[in-house]
Structure 1
């Protein structure tokens, strides 16, 4: 529907251009009949020769000559479909008829729609009458010189204006393409951030669920009270996992912000570490913490959130790959020097089942650390798995 409106508007515009060109052609014809020429018509310098040879135009040819301007202006209705062909016809016809205005419109159309090579060729064709006009006229009067100069200037103006508008159009297309690319990059980063958020939250919750369920499975001689306690912990962990998932899905369903970005999901802070560690301890994991942070309340929110996610992912990996092993966490930092994190856990030497992992969690942590200007490394020694990170903490 929208394209149909644009097509109708273009047809109306082309009709108006054709009508306006016809009016200008009539004006140019009257001016040329009075001896004033605005475009170098070769017929003006050839007319004395024809009269000297005594060969006036036949009536049929004279009638055709009078109808050419009207037909030429009507061709402008199709100037968008066949710009080059119509331009060539009108430029050639303008050398013998008062079709200069229509030819200039056609030149403008070619310059604004066609390639640079095509525009150069058509422009050269339109400028050929200028030197011929000067060479063929035996008197080279001021009027002849003025017509040649005026014709060259008009051709240059029509082509230049068309090139200018084409440049604006191409620039607009480039800006739109760049804006679309930037918007896609922003959405991609937002999708990656949400994917990291879902991984960090759900992987930790599900690993706790698996640990509790595995302990319940191995302890077949547990008393009914122990079974009930383990089932309660499993139910609580599942409930918390569902709540976390609903929060993230709620963010996805929330309308975009006024700037076009997605709303940010609820984020943890450094103060939430205590709850995170208590959850792991309640699952039976031994967690030792050595914390020496000068001013915990002064830690920037982004740094505190990154610390939380690093510890969370390390605990999740320990749940998955080294169940039952102790985890040692060292947190040290002061404003101006940065915040250092070291998390170590012993490697599992048992044959207990391990949860599958994609390996994307630690890679995502490295990206998180880089986003805040920090660094993160991880790897294994002979007996431990270590995660180390350094995060900036401005003074």
Structure 2
């Protein structure tokens, strides 16, 4: 066993887990002051629920091994509860449970991302029910489509995801998704759009009606996300090597460029560059580089960042033009950014992109992967959310939305002055 690679994978898993509390700060700063606890609890609820489900059966669905198939839906019943992964194969690069831990953090952050679309108006209990069902029928299978590689019992790698492996039989190349442009960002973004449509608009929804109550929280959250994203991207190599270094550098380059292009767009369109814009631009660049971080030269990563920052800045206004209330711009940043990064590889991916190979096979693979995940996630998320809304109720009462969800749902306040409490 390589102790260096083991340490690398475990440290990266811890970095990715930190992203979800970072997301809680990012989202928490964007909502109203009287809903900040409610917003952050949606992320922390995902940590608890998805962490448990991953151990019980999530990993068994997402990583059933090769078994000679690239079938989209398979489960390894021997991995239920993870008891079969306690032993370390003699020639393994790292313990199987290190990989389990790393991928658990991906499942957690993906579910938490969706919550930004339903800020200020969702019941906590209904969210938890949705999160558990969606993770089971959408994220775990989609993770298998994209990431189904891991260690077999003999220590060898198992490959079987139809998105990254199975498309080779059809197109000669599989889709490239190094760290989750499809499985994480397009997946979460499509589900976010579905839930925004199910729950409907916030009271008084219009451009400029809701402003972030705490921009420093937003900047803190963005900083924690960026820090954790190095584990997300570089860690997906599962080894401390040259590919991880490329992914690391590109995780600096793309979001830095996106931050700048977002601010330039803000200056042109609104007259002032904002701190929330800087944070949002960085996140847009991080989203776009996620699938591409190991397949681009740094200069092409900069170009991708510039493109993602500008396009995502424009995309966040789609909700006003199309009439859906994606509270915290999950669609504009994660869905649009994930699509940009995924399709960009069809043109600029080292070796197989259009500018290198002269053919459209890689672009076709990227488009098929993005489209399949988007449609699958949207349809099932809408169905799950619709059933919950019509049975248990997903949206809070209008008077509770006006009063603020913190005291109504959790019995707490985000900001309590000593004198006021006395």
Both structures adopt the same fold (TM-score exceeding 0.5): no
Question: Quick check: which has more Rg, 1 or 2?
Answer: 1
More helix per residue: 2
More strand by share: 1
Q: TM-score normalised to the size of structure 2?
A: 0.23
Alignment TM-score, normalising by the size of structure 1: 0.24
Pick 1 or 2: higher relative contact order, CA cutoff 8 A, min separation 6: 2
